[in-house]
Amino acid sequence: MNADSIAGRIRSARENNGLSQTELARLLGVNRATIGHWERDQSFSPNRDHLQALSNVLHVSLSWLAIGSDTSAPPATARSRANLEFKMVELSKHLPISFLASVVALMENAEMYL
């Protein structure tokens, strides 16, 4: 599968962001099987609202995702950093505050090595 189809662009963008189908489905509020259908050629495509949500979550332009134009996608490193930051925030919502305080202290101490 390649980026010549909407299915290929969805899959490519998802993989570039380091997301599984399950993680992407959770972020969009859809079933994992829906993501699988969207990523398969000869299957159904997402509607406009889902395309917009996909472009936001996957950090790609709506026009690239929908029709393959506008190749000015952000570099992989920017997408990777944004994805990691997003994951940190999402995961932190389920951690005890004492653990979060330790992580913040560790990050503050690591700052002096940068």
CA distance 11 to 112: 39
pLDDT digits (tens, 9 = 90+) for 12-35: 999 988 999 999 999 999 999 999
* Statement: the pTM of the whole predicted model exceeds 0.85: no
Give the end-to-end CA distance of the chain in Å, rounded to a whole number.
40
Evaluate whether the domain defined by 1-72 bears CATH number 3.40.50.10140: no
pLDDT single digits (tens) 59-72:
998 889 888 876 55
